[in-house]
Amino acid sequence: MVIGAHVILYTRDAEADRAFLRDVLGFEHVDAGGGWLIFKLPPAEVATHPTEGEPGVELYLMCDDLAQTLLDLEDKGVQVTRAIEEQRWGLIAAIRLPSGTELPLYEPRHPTAHDISP
């Protein structure tokens, strides 16, 4: 039985991005050995979308107030690389990790899997 999901960010500076996830985003973590940090993520959901191009996987961090989240992150010195854009399904923006990797954030404007009652 599936018990969770494990997301991997391939990065050119894993140490800096680990510090960012730990210190800036405040994600709790365990050390799997040798400083290899594994982070606890907020609740997640998965969706499938049709594509005409190559199949792939994307990661977005969800926010309940994207504008405030971006302000809070900018106060911590985080670079916003994509200003808030309105889409039919919600708001989207992006930030830059220390490695240079762009990480999208979004505020859903549709029902989410988190709305399901246990």
% of the chain residues with pLDDT over 90: 80
Residue 59 reports pLDDT greater than 80? yes
Q: Nearest to residue 63, comparing CAs of 117, 99, 109?
A: 109
Q: Which of 64, 2, 14 is nearest to 39 (CA)?
A: 14
Mean pLDDT of the residues in the chain: 93
This prediction's pTM: 0.87
Q: Which domains does the chain have, with CATH numbers?
A: 14-45+54-115 (3.10.180.10)
CA nearest neighbour of 41 among 24, 26, 19, 56: 26
pLDDT over 90 at 3, yes or no? no
The string of pLDDT tens digits covering residues 8-18 is: 999 999 999 99
| pLDDT value for 94 | 98
- Is 19 strand, coil or helix? helix
